[in-house]
Structure 1
Amino acid sequence: MKLKYIFIVSLFSSVFSAQIQKDSVRHVEQINLLVKKKLVERKADRLIFNVEASVASQGMDASETLANVPLMKVDENMGSISIAGKSSVSVMVNGRMLNLTGAALLNYLKSIRSENISKIEVITTPPSKYEAQGNSGIVNIILKKNPNLGFSGNLNTNLIQRTYSGFSSNGSLNYQTEKFNSSLKLTYYDSAKRSDENYTILGATQNYSNSVRRDMWKELTPTLNMSYKISKNSEIGMEYIYAHQKSGMDIVNTTKNITSDHQEENLLTHTFHREKLPTHTLSAYYDLKLDSLGKKLSLAGNFYKNNSDTEVNFSTLTLSDHSVQNVKTTSLISPQIFSVQADLELPFSFGTIETGVKFNQFKNSSDIKYFNLNAGQYAEDPLRANIFSYQEENYAAYFSFAKSFGEHWETKAGLRYENTNAESVTISTNTQNKYNYGQWFPSAYVSYKEDKNVFSFSYSRRINRPSMGNLNPFRWYSNPYSYSSGNPLLTPAYINNWELGYTFNNKFSTSIYYLRMKNAFGQISSIDDLSQISTYLNYYNNNFWGLNASYTDTFFKFWESSISMNSTLQNSSVFNIEAQPQKGSSFSYSINNTFSLNKAKTFSLFLNYNHSLPYRNVNSYFYDFPELTSGVKISLMEKKLQINATVTNIFAQRYRGELYFSDNTQKMDNYWDGRSFRLSVNYTFGGSKKKISKKNIKFEEKERAQ
């Protein structure tokens, strides 16, 4: 009887325990479901978009996922990623700056699956921990921890049909143990597009230029990541990227020039442009946890180098006398970047302190040669040759303090100091320029949360240093008369950002912002007889007042929609050019929709519309640009196999604008093969699941090598 009683009690306890476990699982699932509903979160210094909570963002790559983030815009035609109210952004993955631009950045993001992304942080006013470089915000893509022990990976193929066909493929193979983590990724793409560019300058002298261009890219990029946990408190790791890139352009340009005395000249130029660009990037880190409370020391080093070898052949026919000029230019450009940094994070009961130091060194050398074809032999023209060298060293230190007051208030403030020494030498003109400047870059953030309402205020000061391409005075010729060049006398621009934000119920978000930019630079074109000359100048100051808003929600359980808008008012002043700046304004909006077509949500349709209305800025005017994108997504084999088909820029819109100067008006009308059909197939495989942490390291300077 006693044994029977014990058995019954034991059985009851087991059933009760099992029921508790089931209830706990249900409770956890309910919590997860609740978390998934929080699409947008507002923190003191950033806006967070939870990718896992967005049905629209499933079954995509990272570039497509970014386009679903409120106030983010991804333009594959321009090769740009931007935040509403910002000219462009820097992109990080797990806190590591990618420092890629254009097609290289988008192709890298296409190798990341949305299923591997936990959340995306949009930092419109970056804190002092990050480089002060850049007139834009930062987007930080936070990846999920790889849950697979043993071997796992994925294979992805994309077919792209524009005017020309193209494709890209990438695959990754991962291997993990409790202490060791490694990943080998291989990416290859071969693509081309057609461009039709028209540029007109109307003044006392008139110049009409049309270029029909075929752009081609090929790249093979292996990437190796490795990390090892030395102990429970320390870890080391490295990443090596080798990019073997080849690019080319075949261009047919027609130019008509009418002088002030009505003399007309017509030129026809065929250009053959080829470039080889092998690139090496090596990064390493060491992380040490100082205690169980979260105190941590991080050390990191980065090295980047490429050797751009370019040859351009162009043949120009002058129609007035039917003469032909055959010219060849060659260039060897070798940028190199080295950086080391140390970051210390110290959480205490009274708040969290972050501090660190960093050293960056930039080097660049270029050797440009110009050859004329005479009697079947190329002869060098030393007057058009150029050897240029540039070296820059940046020393930086920062300190920040963050503190939360109860459940409602969150604050953060920081100060960064950067000192820059720069020197450039132009051999052809025997000129040398030296710069030395130090600047303070403060930042501050406050947020208040009450129930479903979150209010925030942020401020940061930034610097926009010219890239090496902006500074290099070498001339890129489009024909024997016309060229573009950099300017070694460029100086940095400075930006102050203020922003007041509000979020309601993790769905609606809005902000009012003010941006003050001083000593900004850009590219300016002018005419000198038959020559159209483009160079860079510091030439304007700008004031922006802006309002943006977004709302993301799910309706009827099958329709997820995200609506956003941005509006700005601007006024400007100019110097170094003869122009009359105008008060400007802009307004843009987007509506992204995803419809789940079956109960399991494995088959969906998306329809996205973006529209930028006509706007003015400084001395320019840009026409409206509407864009419609649509496609379908299919998930099979328990979402291991995913197929996407997308049509972009369905109406094949063109980019059109005008620039106004005192003595001329300049007009552009361009089409960059925006309409395309894309078919993507992705297959994921994996081993046993267990969470293993993976560290990514920052390399924030590489984009300035462009």
Structure 2
Amino acid sequence: MIVKLTNTLKNSIILFFLSMGLLSNAQFKVSGYIIDSTGSRVSFAAINLSADSSKIIRISVSDSLGSFAFAGLPKGNYTLTANLIGAQLFSGRFHLANDTMLVVKVKFTSSILQDVIVTASKPLLERKIDRTVFNIGNSLAARGTDLATAIGLAPMLKVSENGISIIGKSSVAVMINERIVHLGGSDLINYLKSLRSDDVAKIEIITTPPAKYEAQGNSGLINIVLKRDLSQGIGGSISTSYAQRMYPGFGNNASLNFQSAKISASIKLRHYNRKGFIQEQNDIVGLNYAIFSHDPRLTLATGIGANTSFEYKITNTGAIGFVYDEGSTNYELNLENTTTYQRNNATDSILQTLSHSKNPTETRTITLYYDQKLGSSGKKLTTDLNYFSNAPITNIDFTTLSDHSSNIQAVRTFSGIRYQIWSAQSDLILPYKWATVETGTKFTNFDNNSDVRYSDLVAQQYVIDHSKSNHFDYNEKNIAGYVSMQKVINKKWTGKAGLRYEYSIIEGYSPTTSSRNRSEYGKLFPTAYLTYKPGSTHTVSLSYSKRINRPNFRAINPFRYYTNPYTYSTGNPLLQPSLTHNIELTWLYKSYLSVTFYTQHLDNGFGYITQVIGTYKVVDAKNFLTQNSTGLTATSSIRFFKWWESSSHVTYSMSASSSTVADFITEKGSLFNLGTNHTFRISNKLTVFINYSKTLPGTQGNTYRAAQFDFSSGARMLALNNKLQFTASAALGAVDRSRSYFKGYTQYVYTDYNYRTANFSLTYIFGRSKVKGNTKKVDFKETQRTN
């Protein structure tokens, strides 16, 4: 196996350097960059190249570094002109006899800098070969909002205080400028609230990620593309929010950004404090027995964090930087559980458990990166080094009283876990006339050390029960390499194909039981895309991808996590990853209506199964599921009038499953979901919005879910030259009801999250509002498996 791994590494290294060897310079090339009188680069200038005949033969646009290039030119005399927002900045003649580098210096006049309004309009929705693009700048509803609110307006996306999801996907990762944001849940939402929608050019929704991205998870990606702006100076924002449910909740965010010709820096602070009340009923009903469990619980979630980043442009083509994020969160829960055991419809016993748990967590992420442009034709090399650590601690004290005994059973459990993840990656983009090639490699090392202790209260002292305590060490190494190629076949057809190889070495060890498990596997993950665009009205896209879903670290820890003396959950060190095959066919009509047909095949799916073993209720992780799913999603984004914008979606899916676990009863099922969002601009200072979504009753796997709905409405007001924003809204939602079918029993779950909420937020923007600072992120999706 070592030889196999060595060969894999060797092949990856050879592939990487062979790709580097593809670089070449075309003959008779003109390249250069545009600068103004201060030395700053000028972006988005229209560059025209004319021959002696004065006929324009080439057209280009300067990029974010002011660079431009024309290749494959014959020897001769040429005229180069540069224009910006309708005004000519430069015009000059030159003779081309070999490769030539030009530095074009321009001087802005007041007529260019003032009294000019750019009204270029893009369609609200666009379809690229591997993603759907939502041009947020053309959205009436998104103007002047925070980024978390704006993302919720994009088609197929749903935002809550617990995170972001894509309709039809099990999870989602968020990127900014093609770099993963390694935050989740409330921390992610609070981070996005510190960013402004006015700084965003578009939101890209990637339901079938290409080979460049991790194959882990049946997840989608959201890529937030920021506007490129030449504004320099200091700017930022301060915001606070208040949410009233049964108990109040608070959130605060602040950001400070600095940008100059060579330095880009930012610091973002986040804080939240939310108290909640949840009622849950979890019942198991068998032929001659039943277990009824009632769990009202009071929760308190607090968090504080800081994110700082810095980038320095070493040269006109190279930049180096770092990102540092540190967060501290704590989740406290007070639970009062009543469990009733019945035999033959008669009460056998009643247990009452009072539980208090604390879950403080410290997270730290460090990223170093280097970006280098290779020439002026768009070739680029990026290198990233990442470190992530997460150290959650869970302390649970619970006391249990039985109606059959006056004795009180007091238990204290401790769970200390430390995750450490290291990764290094390098990506290379090679645009050629015949195709655009992307290739890269990545190495990731996971370390997970967990310590679980179970103690009984004996004679006023807690004594460890070693039979219920455990230490578990886990290590995983992943080595990956990929190559992809995109080619414009002709004016109507574009194709893209990629192949990613990932090799994993996994080892788990329990010193407590002296048990060791080791496994190795390597898999190929192909992706393919084809787009047909016969005109400006229709776009049709077909895509395929293969994905892998590896278990999170807790799911493979074999030890028991107790919630009372007779209820526990346990992991499975032999748990294997699942594989999914995805096919999507998408039709985009007139840039406002998108219809997607998708089908998915799941192999070796895993999850948690509840079993009754004697007097114990056991939740165990197993591989057991094979599932075929087919669905149709239609989304629309329409502006009926200048003052009325609507975004709606309808999703219908069917699934058929089979199980290798006899207790798990599978059924054919279907799900139907619809939603609509409407925004009305009453004036330039006042906007009103109404949002509604509903999921009809449906079955998936062995679980039937009752109907659910979400409704919210509110208003957004601007003041002080649009620098002060106030938002007020109210939300309603239905409780979650489900029932799961097993051989010999049925499990019923009722959960009320107390959805009725009144929300208020206030945001103030100061300084140069278009200064964004450094928002560089890295592809560090592995951190999601620590949750």
- Which TM-score tier does this pair reach, normalised by the shorter chain? over 0.9
Whole-Å separation in 2 of the counterparts to 1:425 and 1:177:
51
Structure 2 residue corresponding to 1:441, chosen from 509, 514, 525: 525
Question: Partner residue of 1:546?
Answer: 631
Asked if 2 retains the 8 angstrom alpha-carbon contact of 1:371 and 1:378, the reply is yes
Q: CA deviation at 1:611?
A: 0.4
Q: Secondary structure at the match of 2:209?
A: coil
Whole-Å separation in 2 of the counterparts to 1:584 and 1:331:
38
Q: CA deviation at 1:98?
A: 2.4
Matched to 2:704, the amino acid is: Y
Question: Partner residue of 2:81?
Answer: none
Q: Secondary structure at the match of 1:344?
A: strand
Q: Secondary structure at the match of 1:506?
A: coil
Whole-Å separation in 1 of the counterparts to 2:457 and 2:577:
40
Farther off after superposition, 50-59 or 260-269: 260-269
Matched to 2:180, the amino acid is: M
Q: Return closer, same or farther for 1:618/1:22 CA change in 2, 3 Å cut-off.
A: same
Work out the percentage of aligned pairs sharing the same amino acid. 37
| Structure 1 segment 113-262 matched on structure 2, within 5 A | 113-145=196-228, 147-203=230-286, 204-259=288-343, 262=346
Q: CA deviation at 1:504?
A: 1.0
Matched to 1:400, the amino acid is: S
Whole-Å separation in 2 of the counterparts to 1:522 and 1:689:
46
Consecutive unaligned residues of structure 1, counting only runs of 5 or more, are 1-15
Matched to 2:154, the amino acid is: V
- Tell me if 1:321 matches 2:405: yes
Asked if 2 retains the 8 angstrom alpha-carbon contact of 1:364 and 1:468, the reply is yes
Q: Secondary structure at the match of 1:490?
A: coil
Structure 1 residue corresponding to 2:395, chosen from 284, 296, 311: 311
Q: Secondary structure at the match of 2:152?
A: helix
Asked if 2 retains the 8 angstrom alpha-carbon contact of 1:658 and 1:667, the reply is yes
Q: Return closer, same or farther for 1:54/1:137 CA change in 2, 3 Å cut-off.
A: same
| Structure 1 segment 498-537 matched on structure 2, within 5 A | 498-537=583-622
- What do the CA deviations read for 1:234-254 (whole angstroms, capped 9, x no partner)? 100100011122221111111
Q: CA deviation at 1:209?
A: 0.7
Asked if 1 retains the 8 angstrom alpha-carbon contact of 2:208 and 2:544, the reply is yes
Whole-Å separation in 2 of the counterparts to 1:103 and 1:130:
24
- Tell me if 1:686 matches 2:767: yes
Asked if 2 retains the 8 angstrom alpha-carbon contact of 1:145 and 1:694, the reply is no
Q: Return closer, same or farther for 1:29/1:201 CA change in 2, 3 Å cut-off.
A: same
Whole-Å separation in 2 of the counterparts to 1:487 and 1:57:
45
Question: Partner residue of 1:342?
Answer: 426
- Tell me if 1:107 matches 2:190: yes
Q: Secondary structure at the match of 2:246?
A: coil
- What do the CA deviations read for 1:313-350 (whole angstroms, capped 9, x no partner)? 11111122232111111121001100000001000111
Question: Partner residue of 1:90?
Answer: 173
Question: Which protein has greater RCO, CA pairs closer than 8 Å, 6+ apart?
Answer: 1
| Structure 1 segment 397-408 matched on structure 2, within 5 A | 397-408=481-492
Q: CA deviation at 1:143?
A: 2.3
Tell me the number of residue pairs that the alignment of Structure 1 and Structure 2 aligns. 680
Q: CA deviation at 1:260?
A: 6.0
Asked if 1 retains the 8 angstrom alpha-carbon contact of 2:362 and 2:390, the reply is yes
Whole-Å separation in 1 of the counterparts to 2:583 and 2:599:
5
Q: Return closer, same or farther for 1:676/1:258 CA change in 2, 3 Å cut-off.
A: same
Matched to 1:642, the amino acid is: Q
Q: CA deviation at 1:375?
A: 1.4
- What do the CA deviations read for 1:124-153 (whole angstroms, capped 9, x no partner)? 111000000011211112223465422111
Matched to 1:632, the amino acid is: A
Q: Return closer, same or farther for 1:295/1:692 CA change in 2, 3 Å cut-off.
A: farther
Matched to 1:183, the amino acid is: S
Q: CA deviation at 1:22?
A: 11
Q: CA deviation at 1:694?
A: 5.4
Whole-Å separation in 2 of the counterparts to 1:430 and 1:417:
33
Question: Partner residue of 2:555?
Answer: 470
Asked if 1 retains the 8 angstrom alpha-carbon contact of 2:232 and 2:258, the reply is yes
Whole-Å separation in 1 of the counterparts to 2:414 and 2:308:
33
- What do the CA deviations read for 1:412-464 (whole angstroms, capped 9, x no partner)? 11000000000111233322111111000000111122221111111110000
What is the TM-score of this pair, normalised by structure 1? 0.93
Whole-Å separation in 1 of the counterparts to 2:515 and 2:289:
32
Q: Secondary structure at the match of 1:69?
A: coil
Whole-Å separation in 2 of the counterparts to 1:109 and 1:577:
45
Asked if 1 retains the 8 angstrom alpha-carbon contact of 2:410 and 2:456, the reply is yes
- Tell me if 1:586 matches 2:676: no
Question: Partner residue of 2:83?
Answer: none
Whole-Å separation in 2 of the counterparts to 1:580 and 1:687:
60
Q: CA deviation at 1:565?
A: 0.4
Asked if 2 retains the 8 angstrom alpha-carbon contact of 1:150 and 1:688, the reply is no
Asked if 2 retains the 8 angstrom alpha-carbon contact of 1:549 and 1:564, the reply is yes
Structure 1 residue corresponding to 2:747, chosen from 662, 666, 669: 666
Whole-Å separation in 2 of the counterparts to 1:688 and 1:261:
67
Asked if 1 retains the 8 angstrom alpha-carbon contact of 2:176 and 2:776, the reply is no
Asked if 2 retains the 8 angstrom alpha-carbon contact of 1:80 and 1:88, the reply is no
Whole-Å separation in 1 of the counterparts to 2:626 and 2:757:
38
Question: Partner residue of 2:141?
Answer: 56
| Structure 1 segment 301-700 matched on structure 2, within 5 A | 301-449=385-533, 450-598=535-683, 600=684, 602-648=685-731, 650=732, 652-687=733-768, 695-700=776-781
- What do the CA deviations read for 1:169-198 (whole angstroms, capped 9, x no partner)? 110111222101111111111111111111
Matched to 1:541, the amino acid is: T
Asked if 2 retains the 8 angstrom alpha-carbon contact of 1:645 and 1:678, the reply is yes
Q: CA deviation at 1:542?
A: 0.8
Whole-Å separation in 1 of the counterparts to 2:190 and 2:767:
23
Q: Return closer, same or farther for 1:173/1:688 CA change in 2, 3 Å cut-off.
A: closer
Question: Partner residue of 2:367?
Answer: 283
Whole-Å separation in 2 of the counterparts to 1:58 and 1:577:
54
Question: Partner residue of 1:265?
Answer: 349
Asked if 1 retains the 8 angstrom alpha-carbon contact of 2:293 and 2:337, the reply is yes
Asked if 1 retains the 8 angstrom alpha-carbon contact of 2:194 and 2:237, the reply is no
Root-mean-square deviation (Å): 2.1
Q: Return closer, same or farther for 1:693/1:530 CA change in 2, 3 Å cut-off.
A: closer
Q: Return closer, same or farther for 1:17/1:668 CA change in 2, 3 Å cut-off.
A: closer
Farther off after superposition, 358-367 or 100-109: 100-109
Structure 1 residue corresponding to 2:784, chosen from 691, 697, 703: 703
- What do the CA deviations read for 1:213-246 (whole angstroms, capped 9, x no partner)? 1121111101110000000011001000111222
Q: CA deviation at 1:554?
A: 1.1
Q: CA deviation at 1:30?
A: 6.3
Q: Secondary structure at the match of 2:573?
A: coil
Structure 1 residue corresponding to 2:383, chosen from 294, 299, 305: 299
Consecutive unaligned residues of structure 2, counting only runs of 5 or more, are 1-85, 89-108
Q: CA deviation at 1:576?
A: 2.4
Matched to 1:654, the amino acid is: V
Q: CA deviation at 1:390?
A: 0.5
